[in-house]
């Protein structure tokens, strides 16, 4: 990873739209993100900045945006600073200061768009993801930007467990990691069921065997439509090199309650992997629903 992405990272002052907000200013703002967890917040600060911060925020999210911005033409928020600071409870909190992106989330406006507008958006997204697919993995492994663990919740554990977290050398190792996660966290995941999944998953979860750079949380909440029609991709916290089927499976799962037709447009910008989607959806259901 280029040395310019090391932490702390601060863009030189001459490239900033205004002086960076202080930590006190950031902490004083209301949280504008969904209330998923108290360890992760998003604050709007003035007219130029949005700051993602908290003890559950990882610096790699900002590093991912820097990397994608440097290596592709995919529109992402510009990152102005990434730094860490200890909070009153002794937890290491990350602050990612980025540009405020004007516009509307596709979640808010997709249903009102016409076919031509949707086609234009799908065309842009196809170009974006074609570029992402061309980004080579460090050491040809499945992992995060710093050749670390995959950050999708399916690979997260309270304590470090490389067999579940990664990085991984093969899709077979990923299948085994998912079984280990189910054995550890699944609700009443019996040994007989684990044996079945251990037998089946390597057969049904198959990409092309090569790590593919993946956003990892593609949904209409994380796609911002600017007034000029440009789509900006937000929220890169789970990005990394996954199997080729991962983006389609997660994007389809992200359709949530199936309240609109976004799912029908996903195949226009991502190759389809319906079987892999169904298996990963099943695994997520066993773990969290």
For residues 9 and 62, what is the distance between their CA atoms, to the nearest angstrom?
A: 9
- Residues in contact with 116: Cβ distance below 8 Å, sequence separation at least 6, in sequence order: none
Q: What does the pLDDT average to over 89-94?
A: 94
pLDDT of 27 > 90? The answer is yes
Burial of 284: CB neighbours in 10 Å, binned 0-12, 13-18, 19+: middle
For the ranges 34-38, 42-46, 143-147, 186-190, which has the lowest average pLDDT?
Answer: 34-38
- What pLDDT shows up at residue 275? 97
CB neighbours of 57 closer than 8 A, spacing ≥ 6? 39, 40, 93, 94, 95, 96, 237
Is 90 exceeded by the pLDDT of residue 272? yes
* Predicted confidence band of residue 5 (pLDDT cuts 50, 70, 90): confident
Domains of the chain: 3-99 (3.30.200), 102-289 (3.90.1200.10)
- Which of 61, 59, 26 is closest to 44 using CA atoms? 26
The band of 2, judged by pLDDT with boundaries at 50, 70 and 90, is: very low
> What pLDDT, on a 0 to 100 scale, did the predictor assign at position 35?
61
pLDDT confidence bin for 157, thresholds 50/70/90:
very high
* pLDDT at residue 3, rounded to an integer: 39
Rounded to the nearest integer, the mean pLDDT of the chain is 95
- Please give the pLDDT value at position 138: 85
For residue 39, which phi and psi values (nearest 5 degrees)? -90, 10
pLDDT value at position 23?
95
The answer on pLDDT for 250 being more than 90 is yes
| Residue range 169-194: mean pLDDT, rounded | 95
CA atoms of 201 and 147, how far apart (whole Å): 24
For the purposes of burial, counting CB atoms within 10 Å of the CB of 205, is it exposed (0-12), middle (13-18) or buried (19 or more)? Answer: buried
Q: What value does the mean pLDDT take over residues 62-88? A: 97
225 sits in which H/E element: strand 223-225
- Residue 222, preceding bond cis, omega within 30 degrees? no
- Residue 82: pLDDT band with limits 50, 70, 90: very high
CA 4 to chain centre: 22
The gap between the terminal CA atoms of the chain, to the nearest Å, is 37
Q: According to the model, what pLDDT value does residue 6 have?
A: 86
The Cα 217–Cα 252 span in angstroms is 10
* pLDDT for the residue 92: 95
């Amino acid at each position: 990873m280029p040395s310019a992405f090391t932490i702390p990272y601060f863009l030189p002052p001459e490239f900033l739209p205004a002086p960076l907000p202080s930590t006190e200013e950031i902490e004083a703002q209301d949280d504008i993100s969904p209330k998923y967890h108290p360890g992760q917040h998003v604050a709007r600060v003035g007219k130029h900045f949005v700051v993602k911060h908290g003890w559950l925020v990882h610096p790699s999210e900002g590093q991912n945006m820097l990397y994608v911005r440097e290596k592709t033409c995919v529109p992402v928020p510009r990152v102005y600073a990434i730094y860490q600071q200890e909070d009153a409870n002794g937890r290491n909190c990350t602050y990612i200061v980025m540009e405020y992106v004007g516009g509307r989330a596709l979640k808010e406006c997709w249903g009102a768009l016409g076919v031509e507008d949707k086609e234009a958006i799908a065309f842009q997204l196809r170009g974006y993801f074609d570029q992402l697919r061309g980004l080579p993995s460090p050491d040809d492994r499945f992992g995060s930007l710093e050749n670390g663990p995959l950050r999708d919740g399916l690979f997260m554990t309270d304590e470090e467990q490389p067999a579940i977290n990664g990085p991984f050398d093969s899709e077979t190792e990923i299948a085994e990691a998912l079984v280990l996660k189910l054995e550890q966290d699944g609700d009443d995941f019996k040994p007989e069921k684990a044996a079945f999944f251990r037998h089946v998953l390597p057969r049904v979860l198959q990409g092309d065997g090569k790590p593919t750079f993946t956003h990892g949380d593609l949904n209409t909440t994380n796609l911002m439509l600017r007034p000029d029609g440009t789509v900006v991709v937000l929220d890169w916290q789970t990005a990394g090199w996954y199997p080729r089927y991962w983006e389609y499976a997660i994007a389809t799962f992200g359709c949530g309650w199936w309240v609109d037709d976004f799912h029908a447009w996903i195949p226009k910008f991502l190759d389809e992997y319906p079987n892999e989607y169904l298996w990963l959806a099943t695994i997520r259901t066993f773990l969290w629903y």
